[in-house]
Amino acid sequence: MAKPRKLKAKSAARRQPPAAARGPQATHRDATALDQEHCERFLLHEARLLDEAKFDDWLSLFTPDGWYWVPSEPDQDNPHDTVSLIYDDRRLLETRVRRLASPRIYSQEPRSRTSRIIGNVSVEESGAHACTVRSKFLMIEYRRESQRLFAGTAFHHLVQADGGIRIASKRVDLVNCDAPLDGIVVPF
């Protein structure tokens, strides 16, 4: 008799609705909270998508008006006064992802293998439905028997949208942004 009760308890737990269906409070706290823990988990998820070359899924993390910026100078104020290493609005992000998905992309023949480490995550500014998150990163890129190391600070402006967290903007300040850099293809 004890076994059927255990099975019933397990099956009842399986029938429990997902967090999104438990009501507005649970949805807000579980799916889209912009606290330290959820933001850090989001950044780790983004890094995993990039390491696994799931660029379409990475693109879906951005808002429709989201942008991605890698300045070419330390402490660069904006992307308009100086040429940037990368400055992609949503349209250019889509083009970048399409090129990365193409089997004919010469700059990725063979494909890069990457590994990212994300750390020192902190919520710098926080509002009701948006926040700015600062993190340190280290990315190793391996391709054609050569390994490159990139490191720096990333600033994500995250917003609550579509029942989850989305990237409104991402700024990547490379430690060596003003050094000569061979073609950067894979996003940081």
Summarize pLDDT for 34-53 with one digit per residue, the tens. Answer: 999 999 999 999 999 999 99
- CB–CB of 158/166 below 8 Å? yes
pLDDT value, residue 186: 87
- pLDDT value of position 143: 82
Report the pLDDT value the prediction gives residue 105, as an integer from 0 to 100: 72
Query: Which token pair is 55?
Result: 């660029």
CB of 127 closer than 8 Å to CB of 148? no
Output the pLDDT for position 30. Answer: 45
Residues in the chain, pLDDT under 50: 1-31
**Bridge partners for 149 per DSSP:** 140
Residue-averaged pLDDT of the chain: 84
Type of residue found at 145? E
Instruction: Tell me what percent of the residues of the chain surpass a pLDDT of 90.
Output: 65
Sheet of strand 146-161: strand arrangement: 86-88, 62-70, 164-174, 146-161, 130-143, 113-126
* Segments in the chain forming alpha helices (H): 2-15, 24-31, 36-51, 55-59, 90-101
3-class SS at 36?
helix
Assigned token pair, 15: 């029938």
Residue 60 pLDDT: 97
- pLDDT at residue number 183: 83
